[in-house]
Structure formats: structure tokens, C-alpha cells
Amino acid sequence: MADQAEDKDKTILALTKQNETLTKENVQLKSQTGSLSKENEQLKAQAGTLSSENEQLKKAVTQKDKDLEDAASVVEQLKNQLAEKRIGTVELPTVKLGKETYELVGGNFYYGGREVSLETLLEDAKLVAELVKEKAGNLRLLKA
């Protein structure tokens, strides 16, 4: 019987130590649970803040997209206006004589038995002066 009592005492002692160990582990786990709960609450708060910021950014992007569409529309209108203006005006080639500029009207023409082109006029200032003096109808003075 003494052996049985001794075995019981050993078993009780072992179970007591095991209980103490489990109690310590339980306390540690409760502490960790508390810390994790606090961290979880902080993360939830951060998630709420980030969600709010995300919504604000979505609104800003939507507004920027609208602004971009508006700007693209304005650009398209301006392109159309420019195209209409270009259709309505024809720029004629020009030559200079001193400080005055003359348009070459009607393209190439004949003068003094030879064909006169823009290239000819650009290379021969004397010919330009002669044509201006003769008041040739193919050169028109541009007003400043």
C-alpha cells in the first residue's frame, strides 16, 4: 500500500506540475490574446481610414477623368476651328525686296520671254525689282 500511496503522490505531483505549466501557458495566451485584440482594433481603425482615403481618391480620379474628357472636347473643337480657318485661307508664296514683302499671285508666269517661278524670284533680286517697278500683276505688296 505504501507503494500505491507513493505512486498516487507522484501522480498528484506530476499532475500539479502539469497544471501549473498549463496555467502559465493559459496566462501567456490570454496576454497574447489581449495584445492581438488591441492590434486587431488598431488595424480595423487603419482599414477604416484607408477605405475613406480610397473613396476620396476614387472621387478625385472620377473628377480628373471628367476634366480630361472636357479638355479633349475643347481640343477637338479647336482642331475643327483651325481646320475650318485653313480651308478658308490660302497662303501664297512670298518674296522680299528690301523691307517689303510681295506675294506671288497665280504661280509661274512668263516675263521677257522666260518663265518666272518662285525659285527664280528668290534667286534674282534684280528681276524682282524690275517686276515691282513695272507693276507686274503677279506680285502683290503685303501690307504690314
Mark whether 50 and 119 lie in a shared domain. no
The domain total for the chain is: 2
Mark whether 82 and 115 lie in a shared domain. no
Mark whether 21 and 62 lie in a shared domain. yes
Mark whether 12 and 52 lie in a shared domain. yes
pLDDT of residue 131: 93
Mark whether 132 and 85 lie in a shared domain. no
Q: Is there a contact between 143 and 137 (Cβ–Cβ < 8 Å)?
A: no
Mark whether 4 and 53 lie in a shared domain. yes
Question: Going along the chain, which residue ranges are E strands?
Answer: 94-97, 100-104, 109-111, 114-116, 139-141
- Tens-digit pLDDT profile for residues 76-94: 888 777 777 666 667 788 8
pLDDT of residue 88: 62
Query: Rounded mean pLDDT of the chain?
Result: 86
Mark whether 64 and 117 lie in a shared domain. no
Domain span at residue 35? 1-89
Residues of the chain under the 70 pLDDT cut: 1, 85-89, 144
Q: What is the pTM of this model?
A: 0.39
Mark whether 116 and 83 lie in a shared domain. no
Mark whether 13 and 79 lie in a shared domain. yes
Mark whether 2 and 26 lie in a shared domain. yes
Mark whether 84 and 136 lie in a shared domain. no
Mark whether 81 and 121 lie in a shared domain. no
**Residue 52: how many CB atoms within 10 A of its CB?**
10
Gap between the Cα atoms of 51 and 44, Å rounded? 10
